[in-house]
């Protein structure tokens, strides 16, 4: 009888433990727009880097036609993030479909360090709500005259 009670207690403990586990935390999402020199930015990346007590990995998304999306699978959690922008390297840009190439700046375009390595931009992402972001960046040197249209 003691053995049966012991097995019953272990079984109930297992059922209780399985039923009381915390729910899986869904990834936080974000969408946004980026412009440079009064035009939608294309051929770039946006990177979110956790700051302070924010947990999780850095997340990077491509920017085309001025838009980017961080889906749930990016692994973002609610919290504060540092924002950085960089151009997609020229050797990778060559593999981008032609219809997306028309709105890209020239291959030698570089986003100013104030928006990349020296960026002080940040955002606060909140779980369970729409996180919509908007940024204006500048190139290291003007590409206004040579930008592909």
Whole-number Cα distances in Å, 4 to 1, 9, 16, 85, 103: 5, 8, 18, 64, 73
Question: What is the model's pLDDT at position 126?
Answer: 95
Cβ atoms < 10 Å from Cβ of 105: 22
What is the 3-state secondary structure of 88-145?
CCHHHHCCCCHHHHCCCCCCCCCECHHHCCCCCCEEEECCCCCCEEEEEECECCCCCC
Residues 89-139: tens digit of each pLDDT: 988 888 888 777 777 888 889 999 999 999 999 999 999 999 999 999 999
What is the reported pTM?
0.76
**How many residues are recorded in the chain?**
149
Euclidean distance between CA atoms 67 and 45, whole angstroms: 10
Is the confidence at residue 143, as pLDDT, over 60?
no
Structure tokens at 55: 């947990």
Question: What is the model's pLDDT at position 21?
Answer: 40
* DSSP structural state of residue 43: S
Question: What is the model's pLDDT at position 142?
Answer: 55
Residues 11-49: tens digit of each pLDDT: 555 555 555 444 434 589 999 999 999 999 999 999 999
Cβ atoms < 10 Å from Cβ of 69: 12
């Amino acid at each position: 009888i003691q053995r049966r009670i012991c097995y019953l207690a272990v079984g109930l403990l297992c059922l209780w433990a399985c039923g009381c586990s915390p729910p899986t935390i869904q990834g936080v999402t974000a969408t946004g727009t980026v412009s440079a020199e009064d035009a939608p930015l294309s051929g770039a990346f946006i990177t979110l880097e956790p700051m302070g007590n924010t947990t999780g990995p850095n997340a990077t998304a491509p920017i085309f036609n001025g838009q980017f999306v961080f889906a749930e699978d990016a692994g973002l959690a609610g919290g504060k993030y540092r924002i950085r922008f960089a151009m997609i390297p020229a050797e990778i840009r060559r593999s981008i479909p032609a219809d997306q190439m028309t709105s890209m700046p020239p291959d030698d375009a570089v986003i100013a360090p104030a928006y990349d390595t020296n960026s002080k931009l940040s955002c606060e992402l909140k779980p369970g709500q729409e996180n919509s972001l908007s940024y204006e960046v500048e190139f290291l040197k003007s590409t206004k005259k040579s930008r592909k249209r």
